[in-house]
Structure 1
Amino acid sequence: MSHPSFEIVKPRRWPWVVAGVAVLAAAGLAWHLYAGQAQAVTFGNTLKVHFEPAMAGEERLINYVAEHVAPDYGLKLEAVGVQDPVQADRAVAAGQYAATVYQHQWWLKQVVDANGFQLTATVPVFQWAFGLYSDRYSSVQALPQGAEIVVPNDGANQGQALWLLQRIGLITLDPAVEPRTATLKDIRENPHGFVFKELDLLTMPRALNSVDAAIGYVSQFDAGKVPREKGILFPPAPKTFASQLVIGTPYLQQASIAKLQQAFADPRVQRWLAETDDPRVKGVLVPVSAN
């Protein structure tokens, strides 16, 4: 979720949830301490893959691959939870973990631009279901003139929210701006007079009853005990926001890492996402879309 300047608020959890500027700066300053060391790491056939501890669906996905897919590629996988996503990226870049699955390419770009981590997005693994929720209205069409709508306060996910609104014809963004990187200042037409409020994703569920609508991830609203019935629009997730298997760039050519990419690209993974009844996954992590 180019971002030459952005503020990141340190989370207790999750992907599109951001980490503090201080953490980013500290990680960037520390990069030189392990950049050389990263080149020396050689992975075997037992690989650690990071997930966000608060996002049980990610762990279930890694465990599915570990049990049903990875053995066919000669791999043993271990799911490892690390709460701070930026520190997890640092660990992947340093070769402490083989990969992480939590982030889409736009969020990864923010982290890399801020820290200089050597990371590469490889296989698109799943989409985080994303939608519009309301405590007050049962459809998008019912939103009144001047409705107050909450959008994410981080650039990577605010772009996704505004692009959603443009795709359904509610606003128009500056055509000179890549819509997936748009911010509120890039809104050119707002015929319904919507009033936009920025909040971090963790705060949205608690704020829903005080605004007309909020746009964010199903996982966040689930975690905040907001019923799915409060969701008034769940558009197909564009592939550009698919969560990626992110790997440390120096290790891409290693045999075990190549096999890891093959395992996560195995068609069984997408089939499981489409068919599973696991409540931590169904409707939260969805198959990668075609476009």
Structure 2
Amino acid sequence: MPINDFEIRKKKRWPLPVGLAVVVVVALGAWHFGSSRQQAVTFGTTLKVHFEPAMAGEQRVIEYVGEHIAPDYGIKLEAVGLQDPVQADRAVAQGEYAATIYQHQWWLKQVVDANNFKLTSTLPVFQWAFGIYSDRYKSIADLPDGAEIAVPNDGANQGQALWLLQRIGLIGLDPSIEARTAKLADIRENKHNFKFKELDLLTMPRALNSVDAAIGYVSQFDAGKVPRDKGILFPPAPKTFASQLVIGTPYLQDANIQKLEKAFSDPRLQQWLKTTDDPLVKGVLVPVSNE
């Protein structure tokens, strides 16, 4: 197209103080709108509850509560899968979802500290079975000196793995720190000279044949088609790592949110976790313990 078919106009410019004033007013208006919008959220009787798709049993938990318990409290549940856990927490903090059930308190603290989300853990829902797997050895006692052990690369779950190794006497951690938040740098005793490899939880099943052992969630290894007989230790799940029903702090007094809390605290859920034969739940998600 010929250049003379266009009319080139010089953009009108505001004087600098006026431009800044407009920017400030717009920014303040956007902040006020966003703040008001968050506070104005009111939940209806159909509540979206997030689960992490890689943890298929979580969806089953929400569906069980939705079908068998929630109607008694006058609400309906919609299970919503979103793989990005930080975005899920953001959605809960902003009132887009009513709650999430994928995280324990230590992961939640990590997310809140990093993002300043307004989130509250209200009650434990279940515990994830957690274990040590190996392609090469049949028991913990068989692990040789110098064995390479894969541990989660995120701080919250790495702490659980190292705390497990300390509880069974294979390593010693710095006594001045909270053991459940330990990092590799906090190892003070390693009499077997174990070598540690940090891996994302989702990659552990694929990497199992390249290390001597790996520590992670049963659900992750199940999803990776790793037979459970490759598990060489399944310790009792500690309550401190129980999943939490996490709710946006500004919405705790919402009537339907309070009904949601009552539905998930109903004893029928713990009984179902104890007795279900659902393969996505049995031996993967277990009742909340007293420990």
TM-score interval, smaller chain: 0.7 to 0.9
Corresponding residue for 2:93?
93
Rounded to whole Å, the distance in 2 between the matches of 1:36 and 1:162 is 44
Task: For residue 37 of structure 1, report the CA deviation from its aligned partner.
Answer: 2.1
**Please, what TM-score do these two structures have when normalized by structure 1?**
0.87
Distance 1:214 1:91, change over 3 A: same
Task: For residue 78 of structure 1, report the CA deviation from its aligned partner.
Answer: 1.0
Comparing 31-40 with 274-283, which one deviates more in the overlay? 31-40
Amino acid at match of 2:222: D
Percentage of identical aligned residues: 81
Corresponding residue for 2:276?
276
Question: Paired residues, what number?
Answer: 262
Corresponding residue for 1:136?
136
Task: For residue 95 of structure 1, report the CA deviation from its aligned partner.
Answer: 0.6
Which consecutive segments of 4 or more residues in structure 1 shift more than 6 A?
30-33
The question of 1:184 aligning with 2:184 is answered yes
Deviation track 1:207-259 (CA, whole Å, cap 9, x = no partner) reads 11111100001111111111000000000111110000000000101111111
Rounded to whole Å, the distance in 2 between the matches of 1:82 and 1:281 is 19
Corresponding residue for 2:13?
none
Amino acid at match of 1:180: R
Amino acid at match of 1:116: N
Is the CA contact 2:270–2:288 (under 8 Å) kept in the aligned structure 1? yes
Identify unmatched segments of 5+ residues in structure 2: 1-29
Corresponding residue for 2:53?
53
Q: What RMSD over aligned residues (CA atoms) do the two structures have, in Å?
A: 1.5
Task: For residue 36 of structure 1, report the CA deviation from its aligned partner.
Answer: 4.0
Amino acid at match of 1:245: L
Rounded to whole Å, the distance in 2 between the matches of 1:108 and 1:36 is 25
Amino acid at match of 1:183: K
Corresponding residue for 1:194?
194
| Structure whose CA Rg is larger | 2
Task: For residue 55 of structure 1, report the CA deviation from its aligned partner.
Answer: 2.2
Q: How does 1:149-188 map to 2 (within 5 A)?
A: 149-188=149-188
Give secondary structure in 2 for the equivalent of 1:198.
strand
Rounded to whole Å, the distance in 1 between the matches of 2:193 and 2:242 is 31
Rounded to whole Å, the distance in 2 between the matches of 1:191 and 1:118 is 43
Deviation track 1:107-143 (CA, whole Å, cap 9, x = no partner) reads 1111111111100001100111110000111110111
Rounded to whole Å, the distance in 2 between the matches of 1:224 and 1:32 is 46
Identify unmatched segments of 5+ residues in structure 1: 1-29
